[in-house]
Structure 1
């Protein structure tokens, strides 16, 4: 290991432990490592790498999808989706927990944000579940675990990030590849809800609190059409993922401002400003993480890791298991966006060396790192869920154990059943 890499690792871990924002952790660690490697034009080099990183046409989809998600979140979407989900699964054992998970799937797939799903769905359903006698920590665990399904069910901003850093990978193909894995994850989590509810005696949701199927479907259908428009348009080849993001904004605006009339025009400016701030945070993460990736590539870290792992064993199953374990550990202390940007160039060559399709690896990586959003010490969705549910991480973490098991099982299915991810994108080629 060179001095520069040692400084990079020490600085990175030290700054994380000091709770410095991740974007600054990555940028500062990269700058210190570059200086140690003798790059005296470090400011110019890093700023150039950062500027080049965000100068990608595909990244235009991120601010559009963020804005569409914010419009939907403020436009009364969560309430309508909950009403619809309650009719579909509310009569099953643990009805409210099932409604919670399905609502998170629907909302997450439209907003593309796991944290937004926890906040929007949790603020409505966690208090309701508390009133009906469900365990407080269990309610937060249900919401937290269900929220990550939206990162696999398109549209998903992290898929766009992976496509950009991996290069020569279609965002549209990634979107299509995530549909079945996302649905499988959602079904697995609902299965856990049923098992726990049967064991604890949580009954079906009270019929009197839920509307009938037809009115709830009519109310939720315009919102659900956003997913149909995005996926259907990409599937049919009518537009690219970036173009779909712009269409999503138009559709979300029409619903929230014109059709539902939940957002007054005078509040639109503040909502757009909030979306812009979120976009700024994401883009800064992309920029600094890409600069670190460039440094690692210049130091031939991907080649060294690839050669080392392929030399460990000729068994692809063992190597994929090792990659999954490393990514699971990474996800526990790093947010999903910088993790994808930093570790994709390291592990993608290994996956390709095993004969793995890059799109399949992208879904595997996103599914893996999504689990980290639900785990301490840095799990964003876990912290948001505990804040919404007014409970402690220790208690929620215990309730999360069966959900963790379900997530790992689905991750193994995604890893060793490539057709689950590749059938849909391959079927349109």
Structure 2
């Protein structure tokens, strides 16, 4: 009865279009009525305790850092550098878009923030250069999903907190999968642009102009070095790195680039607060949800059911991937990780999958969820950035989803792609 109330209630509330965080909380309240030893006050208590965690502090700080970087001119300078070096290649602007998203991913940690920041700059230029709208918007939506794979990554922080897995190791594990997906998208863009006849930038930049572009963007380019270098050198924790990123973005935008005045600053901080508030509600309600799962031993039941169905590692991982892909179509990354990681991690570890490797599998699956209809949030952000109907974005997204799925299979079944760097630094 508890399991039926928990999952059945969640499904009903989601169908009724109740916001995800509220739906999780209501499903938890419904299930408590069938649970002995728990009162209705358990959910509001979990709203507080679920957010009362030092690692969780990284989430609002990385959200704020991403907003400040977009508004303070950091993204624009990164784009200029990438255009100078890659713009003349066939499909140059498309390749530049992917490279900028990879770079922005190394400082923001958020997929939608990456789409909004990069898309607002590249979409008008790509359309002006003759790229089709459906390709342009789909590319921005897909490349933006790298924002949660290349560290720092907000979903990795959530997974680490939910499963007591090292966040630093998760960040290390995210590098090679992120670069794999980035380079796969670059190759796809090159061959697709060549087929469509989309040429690169005709302007030839001199060595002096290239150096000037790099010098102008020097503060933006050293940002990920400071953040990630500080984490792995042991100077600060991932949570403290988020604070450093926010302060650094503020200093760059207000005092160095001088593109962030106090009027824009309040708007930027307001946007970050709005996103953070939504995320915190989801985290709190998902904490109650996962604790009820644990009390009722539902993760153990599901683990035993899957293992009894098949002991084939290949098939179990395939079933997990299919489940995560389906969930990603309908649920945001944060609640999906909070709800599913305690259920699926025991299954993965029972067949010998390392928790860090499984964390990357989860994050990549749910990153694909950013670009799968009907609720792929990157699709909505790209649609808004391009001032186009959602249908325009979804028409162009299918080839990109196929590229992402191919990368997902490699990441799932070739564990060194994820585990090489964590194992290397562990020695």
| Alignment deviations for residues 234-265 of structure 1 (CA, whole Å, 9 cap, x no partner) | 22222211121122122112211111111124
Q: Please give the secondary structure, in 2, of the residue aligned with 1:207.
A: coil
| Alignment deviations for residues 188-247 of structure 1 (CA, whole Å, 9 cap, x no partner) | 111111121111111112327999321221122211212111211222222211121122
Matching of residues 220-259 of structure 1 within 5 Å: 220-259=217-256
Instruction: State the 1:50 CA deviation.
Output: 2.5
Please, which of 171, 179, 184 is the counterpart of residue 175 of structure 1? 171
Distance in 1, matches of 2:9 and 2:204, equals 57
Question: Are 1:85 and 2:82 counterparts?
Answer: yes
| 1:115 matched residue in structure 2 | 112
Please, which of 339, 345, 365 is the counterpart of residue 342 of structure 1? 339
Distance in 1, matches of 2:271 and 2:396, equals 33
Question: Are 1:361 and 2:358 counterparts?
Answer: yes
Please, which of 197, 202, 217 is the counterpart of residue 201 of structure 1? 197
Contact 2:107 2:227 in 1 (8 A): no
Contact 1:154 1:227 in 2 (8 A): no
Question: Are 1:20 and 2:18 counterparts?
Answer: yes
Q: Please give the secondary structure, in 2, of the residue aligned with 1:239.
A: coil
Distance in 1, matches of 2:279 and 2:370, equals 16
| 1:70 matched residue in structure 2 | 67
Q: Please give the secondary structure, in 1, of the residue aligned with 2:260.
A: coil
Contact 1:348 1:361 in 2 (8 A): yes
Please, which of 21, 31, 34 is the counterpart of residue 33 of structure 1? 31
Matching of residues 391-406 of structure 1 within 5 Å: 391-406=388-403
| 2:412 matched residue in structure 1 | 415
Please, which of 269, 275, 279 is the counterpart of residue 276 of structure 2? 279
Q: Please give the secondary structure, in 2, of the residue aligned with 1:54.
A: coil
RMSD over aligned CA atoms reads: 1.8
Matching of residues 135-214 of structure 1 within 5 Å: 135-167=132-164, 169-207=165-203, 212-214=209-211
Distance in 2, matches of 1:385 and 1:362, equals 27
Contact 1:109 1:151 in 2 (8 A): no
Residue correspondences, number:
425
Q: Please give the secondary structure, in 1, of the residue aligned with 2:24.
A: helix
Q: Please give the secondary structure, in 1, of the residue aligned with 2:368.
A: helix
Q: Please give the secondary structure, in 1, of the residue aligned with 2:33.
A: helix
Contact 1:73 1:111 in 2 (8 A): no
| Alignment deviations for residues 21-79 of structure 1 (CA, whole Å, 9 cap, x no partner) | 1111111111112123356721x111222222111111111122122111111101221
Question: Structure 1: which 5+ runs fail to align?
Answer: none
Instruction: State the 1:17 CA deviation.
Output: 2.0
Matching of residues 379-390 of structure 1 within 5 Å: 379-390=376-387
Distance in 2, matches of 1:9 and 1:166, equals 21
Question: Structure 2: which 5+ runs fail to align?
Answer: none
Deviates more, 1:89-98 or 1:377-386: 89-98
> Runs of at least 4 residues of structure 1 off by over 4 A?
208-211
Distance in 1, matches of 2:304 and 2:404, equals 30
Instruction: State the 1:135 CA deviation.
Output: 0.8
The normalised TM-score by structure 2 is 0.95
Contact 1:90 1:99 in 2 (8 A): yes
Distance in 1, matches of 2:405 and 2:161, equals 26
